[in-house]
Structures are given as C-alpha cells and as structure tokens.
Chain A
Amino acid sequence: MLDHLAFEPPKPKVIAGAKADWELVIGLEVHAQVSSNAKLFSGASTTFGAEPNSNVAFVDAAMPGMLPVINEYCVAQAVRTGLGLKAEINLRSAFDRKNYFYPDLPQGYQISQLYHPIVGEGEIIVDMGPGVARRVRIERIHLEQDAGKSIHDMDPHMSFVDLNRTGVALMEIVSRPDIRGPEEAAAYVGKLRQILRYLGTCDGNMQNGNLRADVNVSICKPGAYEKYQETGDFSHLGTRCEIKNMNSMRFIQAAIEYEARRQIAIVEDGGEVVQETRLYDPDKNETRSMRSKEEAHDYRYFPCPDLLPLEIEQAWVDDIAATMPELPDEKKARFVGDFGLSEYDASVLTAEVENADYFEGVVAVCADGKGAANWVINELFGRLKKEGHEIGESPVSPEQLGGIVKLIKSGDISGKIAKDLFEIVYTEGGDPAEIVEARGMKQVTDTGAIEKAVDEVIAGNPAQVEKAKQNPKLAGWFVGQVMKATGGKANPSAVDALVKEKLGL
C-alpha cells in the first residue's frame, strides 16, 4: 500500500508589528465527546436534547454513597482514537480528581487522567493544500467526565443547571505547540474532526459542543521557534495565553488572530504578556481575561480513591486495531495511486467517509476512477449542494451514476447526452442503460449516418467551407452543426475526424 503522499511543511504565518515581524506558536487541547450510549461512569443516557435532568443517574448527581463504574466501550473508543492518531496506548492508566467548585459540577471534582493518561504520543498530518501539510505531534489523550450545563438567560437573578451532560465521556486530545498560524489551527481541528468521524469515536458536532477547543497562543521572533525545536527549551518561546472553549473553526481563527495582535502590541510597548486564561467574545471579536479562573487553577489533583487503575490487555488493544477502518490519509493516497486522481479531487472525495464510499460504489460499476471522480464531484455534489441535500439523501445511487459513467466510457453516449441522462435519473430514477435504449439516446457511431450529416452541412454552407479552408479553426463550427443536426447523439470525435477529412484540412 502507498504511504502518505509526500508533502512540504507550510510557511509559518508572519504578522508585521509596528517594530518587527512576529510569528505565532499554537497548541490545542480539543475536548471530543465520546460517541457512546451511556456515560463514562454511569448507566444514564448520553442523548442530546432530552428533558433537563432526566438523563441523570444518582452517581452523576453525586448523591452520597454512589460509586463510579467505568463504561468499557468508552475506554475502547479512546483506544481506537489513539490507534487512529498512531499513538502509543498505555496498558495501565489511572484516574485523578481535579477539584473545583461550580454549580454544574455536583461532585466538586472532575474525574480525569492527569498523571497516567490512556493514550500517549501520536501525530496528525494537517493538510494545507496539495503537497503542503504540517505534521502536528499529539502529546496525549486522556479520558474525563464532562460537566453539566448552566443556562443564564432564563431568569434575571438565577442560573439554571441541567446535569444531563454531567458525566458524559470526553477525550481531551492535547497537541504539542507545533501549529504556526490561525489557518493551521482551524485545519488541525478540521483534520482531527475528520479522523474522529472516520473512526466513529466522536460525531464532531461542534454546534452541540461535542467538539470544542482550548487554544494556547504565544508569539516569538522569527527563528526562535526553530531554537525551541532543536533544544526543547520553552524559554525560546513567548508567554502563552489560553483561550477557552471555542466551538467554531471561524471563531478559533479570529480569536488567535486577535490574541496574537494583542500580545504583539503589549510586547512592542515594552510590556510583558501575563500567562492567563482568556475568553473569546465573537460579538466584539476580542479576547478578555477570565480572572475568576486564575485562583481556581489550584486544582489539587490526587488519585481518585473510588477507581482502581485501568489495566487493559494488549490482546484487547489488538482486537480493536484489527477493526480499524481505512483512515483519510491512507484513503486519499490510495485514490491518487489506484485511480490516478489529483490530490485535490482525492481530498474532496475523502473529506467525509460517506462521500468516499459513494465514489467507490460508482467506480465498482464503471471501472473508471477519473470519470467517476469528475461526475461525483462536479455533477452530483454540485446538484446536491444546490438543493441542500446530504450525500445520504442523493436520489441517484452509486450504481445508477456508475451506469451513466460506464455508458460514456463505452462510447454509447456522449458527455453532453450524459448530462441529460443524469437529469432524467436524478428526477425520475430508473436504470441508465434502459433509459438510453428506450429513449433513443445512444450515440451514433455508425459512420455512414454521421457521414451523411456531415455531407449535408458542408453542402448547405459553401461560404463557411471557403472560410474554413483559410482558417482551419472553423472546423469546430461544422462539428457543432453536425452535433446539432444529430440531436447530440453523434460521436464527437468521429464527427471531428470526418469534417476535417471532407474539408481537406
């Protein structure tokens, strides 16, 4: 099998300050909600949008005497994610308590994995365009509980708390500071989301908060980051600020952009950036300090006495590894290698696994990768997008579209007729080959018939014939006329050859 496609790293983003040029150094902590039926430590449902406080077990509400029991499937999902990011899996991990008080955290602590996470170092290849990608190292993934939800706008004096999300399993996926610009940060989240969706370990729904990111941003002079990379010494980098809890790629980009400029202004004014937690306000497009968080940062972690260390067996990990799907990078490389697609087309087709599956369904029928890619991307996606449909709602099945491409490939229909045929299949349905037969859409390859049409056009347009003899480019006009006369059914290359022959070009 093909390895990853070759790539070069992108250039880091440079922001011109008033006095100097600056580069950015960015690391992300992504919280991804594990796709599971039940919560991490209770048997309550994870379904989104239920009646408030109905998906809550006594253990989630931290009732006295209740003990957590781990959901093995959530562990398997974290392992699967780790394998998908080519990371080391820790056969022994352990849970710790992170202590803080907030109304949506009834336990007064979050069960997390500070000291011994279940997944260690991995990597993500972040595509920035054909042939350009950033290799971002993953530091760790740990399992932890989500908190509940506070609603502040239902009453002027009270906050309303819903514990339905309390205790749902999260994976916190922590990157190294390898990301060098706002666009790269958004692309990183996009690629991670794509991999998680391929793996089926997180649905990636950012709107519902099932995937959200904390972003660490610092600035440095050009050259300083390379020194950090050589030595691993963080003192070459600037002081970082953490922007909390963003659930949109657009906000992530805007927040980083704003935050970098804020830090540059401070440093160029002779000041110092203070390490702190900040919140992005999309309405004002600015970040502001969350001072209240600072004092609470003393989380007093300690091993959770309710839970033994989590020990898993290599054989169990191997079983999960044996069921891994083909991941985006491999699929893309295979599409380029096996079907001769451009990297761009392969990226489009592998963006969502449903698209890739559809495309492969088309190829299975027509055995023409490039033709299938062209029709899936340009005709089908274009049409679906226009009507606001998802691929799963396509009225044209892969078998039908494969049938159309096959008819083009065999020369039975022309590309122009194929568009009409696509329209019929899209709106009316039916088997493409039968439609072509029944409606007489077959391309005329019978040279005699085409010759007759060519002769007629030449005979009817003596003036054009004279002009074409001076200017051979005008042959195209005759081809057009013949195509028109035959209702588009003549084979264009056969017409072209005959026209040139008859005009003596």
Chain B
Amino acid sequence: MSIDIDTARKVAHLARIAVPEEALPELARELSGILTFMEQLNEVDVEGIEPMTSVTPMRLKRRVDEVTDGGYQDKILKNAPDAREGFFAVPKVVE
C-alpha cells in the first residue's frame, strides 16, 4: 500500500502535526515504506490463530467502585497555560 502526498497531508492534519508542504513527499515515502514492511507480515498464514494481546497470560486488572482519587483541582490546573476560576481557559470553541 502506498501513501500519496494528499493522504500524508490529511494524516498530519488529523494528528494535528504541522508538516511543511515541502516535507510531505519525503513523509509520504517513509510512511509507504513502513506500510510495505508491515504488509510482509500478511504473508504469514495465521488462519485459526487467536490474536495475541499479551506476552504473559494476564487478566485485565480491575478496580473496585470506590472514590480513591481526585480532589486536587490545583494540581490538575497547575500546568495549564491559562486557568480561571477553576476551569481550563482555552480559545473559544463553539459550534
């Protein structure tokens, strides 16, 4: 599968990564290379084999339904570029 320049531009935009126009051809070429490498894996016959999700036989860890966290508004907001009256303040976003 090959990634063209338009696809590279779209993927960059969806990921909110600013890629200058002149860097797109090289990026598209690299992404294509990665996908081509991945496609080689498709040559392996995995018919009837369960996808492996973990290298050790682990069960998804659960928590009980108790409030054990939170209550530190100051820490949550500490790294915010702008915070007012307990809220994060961000440039206006409205539909």
Contact = CB atoms under 8 A, between A and B. Distances in A.
Contacts of A73: 64-65
Interface in B40-75: 53-54, 58-73, 75
Contacts of B85: 52, 154, 160
B89 interface: yes
A38 B66 contact: yes
Contacts of A59: 69
Nearest to B86: A52
Tell me the dominant secondary structure on chain B's binding face. Answer: loop
A453 B75 CA distance: 85
Contact of B67 (A45, A101, A296, A307): A45
Contact of A53 (B63, B77, B95): B77
Interface in A419-474: none
Chain A interface category by residue count: 35 or more
Nearest to A41: B63
Pick from A61, A160, A300, A311 the residue with the most CB of B within 10 Å: A160
B91 interface: yes
Contact of B92 (A60, A159, A308): A159
B76 interface: yes
Interface in A64-106: 69-75, 94, 99, 101-103
B67 A158 contact: no
Contacts of A162: 86-88
Most buried by B among A70, A152, A159: A159
Contact of B60 (A36, A298, A308): A308
Given A53-B76, A307-B60, A308-B60, A160 B67 contact: no
A103 B90 contact: yes
B41 to A, nearest CB: 16
A73 B62 CA distance: 9
Interface in A1-56: 36-38, 42-45, 51-56
B86 A152 contact: no
A157 interface: yes
A42 B69 CA distance: 7
What 3 A-B pairs are tightest by C-beta distance, nearest first?
A: A43-B68, A73-B65, A44-B70
5 contacts: A73-B65, A103-B88, A161-B87, A292-B95, A311-B60
